[in-house]
C-alpha cells in the first residue's frame, strides 16, 4: 500500500505519528487477544452527538468537526448538498481568511460580526469564508471549526489556496484512513487481528474484514494461519472489491525462526501466497535481534518486504538498542495497549523517529474483555454517542494516534469494529479515557 488516497470520514481524526498491531508472545499464548468478542454490546437506540448526517465540511482531504449555526443559511446549505457534494475553490485573502464562491445565492441575515480563528461565515449571500485569523465585517454566521487550534488552522489554511467541500454525511462512504510510515508507505489505522484463528476461520474473517472496508490484516508465523489469511485475501481480490495494492499485510518472524530469519520471511511469503509483505516485525525480543533485523533489512532491499518494525519492545532503552544497529529505522512498534495500559510515554519518545505504535489487546484480551466493555466511563460515552463500548475503545485508540487491530471471527463484530469513522470523541471524553490508565499490563515478559 503506497500513498493511497485517504478516504472521507465525517469525524475529526488526529494526525498520527505512532501506531501498533496485535501481537502475541510465544511464551504466553493463553492470555493473548481473543478473536471472538464474546458479547459486544448492542448499540443504544438513541444518541446525543455531533450531527453527521446533514452537513459536513472537508478542507483538502481532512474532514473537520464543525458546530453549525441554527439558521436559514445553514438549512439551505444542508438541502443543497443533500444529493451531491458542493466543492468550492478557496483563495487566501488578507492574511487571515480563505474565501470562495458558492456558485449560488444563499439566504442571509448579515450583522456586524467580529470573527475569530475557526469561524465560517457567509459573505454577500454567495461566498463562503473560513477564518484562520480575525476580522470585523457584516457577515452571516454559518459555524465554527471545533477541533483545530489557531496554529493548526494557520497550517491548514495559511499556506496557499485550498479546496473546501460541503457534503451530506449520511450519504458519505466512510472508510478507514491511513497513516504515512517513515518508510513512505501508507498503513491503515484500523485492521483485523488473526491470533488464535485456524486457517478456515482466518480465511473467513479476512474476507469479511476486507468486505467491511478494513484494509489492514495482521498475522504471524506463530499464529499458524498465514495460509488462511492468504486465501481470504485472494477470495476478496477475485470478487473484485479490493486489489492487492490496497491491502496492507503484516506478519512476524517467530522466535523459533530467529536463527533462520531470512528463510522464515520466505516461509511467510509462501504460506500467504504473496509476492511481498507490507510490514514484517520481530515478534518479540530475543538473543540475536540484530541478526534478525539484518534479515528484515535485506528483505526490504530485495523488495519482498516494504516496511519493517519490532513487536513487544516497551521501553526507550529497548528501542534505543534497536536503533543503535538499525540501518533502516523501524516503522512500527506493535505492543500491548489498552484502556489500562496506554504507555503514551513510549509513543512520545518514538515520535521524532517517525515510528508509530500499533496496539494489540485493544479490548484487554481473554479474561479482560468484559471488564473493558463494562467500564463505567466507556459505557457512559457509548450511550452518549449511540455506539457500542467496543467502538468507543477503538475510536479512542485511533484518535489517540495508535493503529489498532481487534481480532474477531464473527462477521457482525468485524463490521461493528469497522464502523467507527462517523463520529468523534470530544477532548473531554478523550481525557476521561486517558485517566483510566493504570500502567497495568496483562502479559509481562
**293-344, pLDDT tens digit by residue?**
999 999 999 999 999 999 999 999 999 999 999 999 999 999 999 999 999 9
Instruction: Share the mean pLDDT of the chain.
Output: 87
How many CA atoms within 13 Å lie on the side-chain side of 150? 6
For the segment 17-33, the average pLDDT, to the nearest whole number, is: 30
Cβ-defined contacts of 152-160 (< 8 Å, 24+): 153/117, 153/118, 154/117, 156/59, 156/60, 156/62, 156/132, 157/59, 157/90, 157/92, 157/98, 157/130, 157/132, 158/92, 158/95, 158/132, 160/92
> Is there a contact between 165 and 140 (Cβ–Cβ < 8 Å)?
no
On the 0-12 / 13-18 / 19+ scale of CB atoms within 10 A, 292 is buried
Domain ranges across the chain: 29-44+177-434, 56-167
82: Cβ contacts below 8 Å, ≥ 6 apart? 168
Catalytic residue numbers read 223
- Chain position carrying cell 481487534: 406
Using one digit for the tens of pLDDT, what is the confidence trace for 180-234? 999 999 999 999 999 999 999 999 999 999 999 999 999 999 999 999 999 999 9
How many CA atoms within 13 Å lie on the side-chain side of 161? 6
Tell me the pTM.
Answer: 0.67
What percent of the chain is predicted at pLDDT more than 90? 75
> What CATH architecture applies to the domain 29-44+177-434?
Alpha-Beta Barrel (3.20)
Q: Which CATH class is domain 56-167?
A: mainly beta
For residue 55, the model assigns a pLDDT of 85
Closest-CA residue to 52 (of 68, 72, 71, 76): 68
Amino acid at each position: 500500500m503506497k500513498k493511497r488516497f485517504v478516504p472521507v470520514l465525517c469525524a475529526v481524526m488526529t494526525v498520527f505519528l505512532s501506531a501498533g498491531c496485535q501481537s502475541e508472545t510465544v511464551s504466553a499464548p493463553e492470555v493473548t487477544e481473543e478473536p471472538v468478542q464474546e458479547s459486544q454490546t448492542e448499540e443504544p437506540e438513541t444518541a446525543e452527538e455531533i450531527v453527521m448526517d446533514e452537513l459536513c465540511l472537508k478542507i483538502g482531504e481532512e474532514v473537520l468537526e464543525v458546530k453549525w449555526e441554527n439558521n436559514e443559511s445553514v438549512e439551505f446549505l444542508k438541502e443543497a448538498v443533500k444529493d451531491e457534494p458542493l466543492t468550492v475553490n478557496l483563495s487566501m485573502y488578507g492574511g487571515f481568511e480563505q474565501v470562495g464562491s458558492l456558485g449560488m445565492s444563499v439566504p442571509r441575515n448579515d450583522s456586524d460580526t467580529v470573527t475569530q480563528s475557526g469561524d465560517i461565515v457567509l459573505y454577500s449571500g454567495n461566498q463562503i469564508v473560513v477564518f484562520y485569523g480575525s476580522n470585523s465585517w457584516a457577515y452571516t454566521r454559518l459555524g465554527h471549526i471545533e477541533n483545530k487550534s489557531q496554529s493548526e488552522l494557520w497550517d491548514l489554511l495559511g499556506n496557499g489556496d485550498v479546496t473546501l467541500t460541503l457534503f451530506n454525511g449520511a450519504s458519505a462512504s466512510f472508510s478507514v484512513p491511513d497513516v504515512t510510515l517513515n518508510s513512505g508507505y501508507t498503513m491503515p489505522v484500523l485492521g483485523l487481528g488473526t491470533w488464535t484463528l485456524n486457517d478456515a476461520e482466518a480465511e473467513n474473517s479476512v474476507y469479511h474484514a476486507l468486505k467491511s472496508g478494513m484494509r489492514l490484516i495482521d498475522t504471524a508465523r506463530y499464529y499458524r494461519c498465514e495460509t488462511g489469511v492468504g486465501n481470504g485475501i485472494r477470495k476478496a481480490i477475485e470478487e473484485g472489491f479490493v486489489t492487492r495494492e490496497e491491502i496492507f499485510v503484516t506478519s512476524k518472524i517467530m522466535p523459533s525462526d530467529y536463527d533462520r530469519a531470512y528463510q522464515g520471511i520466505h516461509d511467510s511469503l509462501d504460506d500467504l501466497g504473496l509476492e511481498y509483505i507490507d510490514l514484517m516485525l520481530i515478534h518479540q525480543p530475543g538473543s540475536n535481534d540484530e541478526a534478525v533485523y539484518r534479515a528484515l533489512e535485506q528483505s526490504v532491499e530485495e523488495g519482498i518486504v516494504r516496511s519493517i518494525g519490532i513487536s513487544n519492545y516497551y521501553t526507550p532503552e529497548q528501542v534505543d538498542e534497536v536503533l543503535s544497529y538499525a540501518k533502516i529505522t523501524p516503522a512500527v512498534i506493535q505492543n500491548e495497549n489498552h484502556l489500562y495500559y496506554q504507555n503514551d510515554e513510549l509513543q512520545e519518545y518514538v515520535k521524532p523517529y517517525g515510528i508509530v505504535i500499533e496496539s494489540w489487546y485493544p479490548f484487554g484480551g481473554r479474561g479482560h474483555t468484559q471488564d473493558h466493555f463494562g467500564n463505567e466511563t466507556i459505557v457512559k460515552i457509548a450511550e452518549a454517542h449511540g455506539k457500542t463500548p467496543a467502538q468507543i475503545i477503538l475510536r479512542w485508540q485511533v484518535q489517540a494516534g495508535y493503529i489498532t487491530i481487534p481480532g474477531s471471527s464473527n462477521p457482525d463484530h468485524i463490521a461493528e469494529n469497522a464502523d467507527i469513522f462517523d463520529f468523534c470523541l470530544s477532548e473531554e471524553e478523550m481525557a476521561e479515557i486517558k485517566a483510566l490508565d493504570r500502567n497495568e499490563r496483562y502479559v509481562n515478559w
